[in-house]
Amino acid sequence: MTVSAETETATTPTNLGFGVDVGGSGIKGGVVDLDTGVLVGERFKVLTPQPATPEAVAGGVAEVVAHFDWTGPVGITLPGVVTGGVMRTAANIDKSWIGTAVDELFGSRLGGVPVSVLNDADAAGMAEDAHGAGKDVDGVVMMLTFGTGIGSAILINGTLVPNTELGHLHVGKKEAEHIAASRVKEDKGWSYAKWTEKVSEVLSTYEALFWPTLFIAGGGISRKADKWIPLLTNSTPVVPAKLANTAGIVGAAMAVSQGLRT
Ligand code: BGC
């Protein structure tokens, strides 16, 4: 096939970043084209060490970065609240993260490169808002990730309000993530119809408080969106995430390129 010189120039990305997404089962990273929000090449994954202590996870992150010989700034997601470079909560990860100076931990482990450490759902929300399902959507966009817990991100015209933690909002008698995370569906063996009733309750509660223009549903279960999004009974439109398993990596790379500190 002949490719014109013009096409080649147009497709060679020059504005690159690097993101690492730390999850319960894997630590995944890759080089990101910051102009398009697309990964350049494959992502690389190592298993999350157990117990997932700060030192052990930092080792995994360093391994992922070294795999690409990347020596520039690195954005890193964690499944908890991060303020002032310190992790504050650890609902679904080793409790020793609470109070850990994560900027220092990753910065020194990665040889002193600039780092941004932010909440996993916040990173996914930034990526989806800029390059995925929220692209060109005006007003308040709310990203929710359904997995072991429920992660949330709120963006207004591209600006993130970090650490919203809506998975812990009480809906009825329990925290939202204890009734409607996708893990609850698995653990209880619920049908999509049964689980979607709970998700509808959660989304109805969120929309009554925040009035978003759009909900973006992420997490592994968003890949089966056709099985459950049509069953939702809340009012605000819900669309599946578009970047699938790269959103956290892309958002982390965006965060460090913007010098974001939550
Ligand atoms: C944590 C959030 C996180 C979400 C998804 C929740 O339990 O509190 O910080 O974003 O799980 O990992």
Q: Which residues line ligand 1 (CB under 6 A)?
A: 79-81, 89, 91-92, 119-121, 145, 147, 149, 151, 165, 167, 177
Sites in the chain below the pLDDT cut of 70: 1-11
- What local confidence, expressed as pLDDT, does residue 1 receive? 43
Cα separation, 122 vs 140, whole angstroms:
14
Residue ranges covered by each domain of the chain = 15-122+246-257, 137-241
- Number of neighbours of residue 108 by Cβ within 10 angstroms: 13
Fold match, 15-122+246-257 / 137-241 = yes
- The confidence score (pLDDT) of residue 111 equals 97
Ligand 1 atom with the smallest distance to the CA of 23 is 12
Helix axes 54-67, 102-109, angle to 10 degrees: 40
Residues 138, 42: Cα–Cα separation, whole Å: 32
- Number of other CB atoms surrounding residue 6 within 10 Å: 8
- 81: three-class secondary structure by DSSP: coil
- Out of 95, 150, 178, 182, give the residue to mutate to test ligand 1, the one with the largest number of ligand atoms within 8 Å of its CB: 150
Closest C-alpha to ligand 1, atom 5: 151
Top CATH class, 15-122+246-257: alpha beta
Q: Is the pTM of this model over 0.75?
A: yes
Tell me the per-residue pLDDT of 35-45, one tens digit each, with 9 for 90 and over.
999 999 999 99
Residue 10: what pLDDT? 58
Q: What is the CATH number of domain 137-241?
A: 3.30.420.40
Cis peptide preceding 240, ω within 30 of 0 = no
Calpha distance 212→233 (Å, rounded): 16
**What pLDDT sits at residue 2?**
46
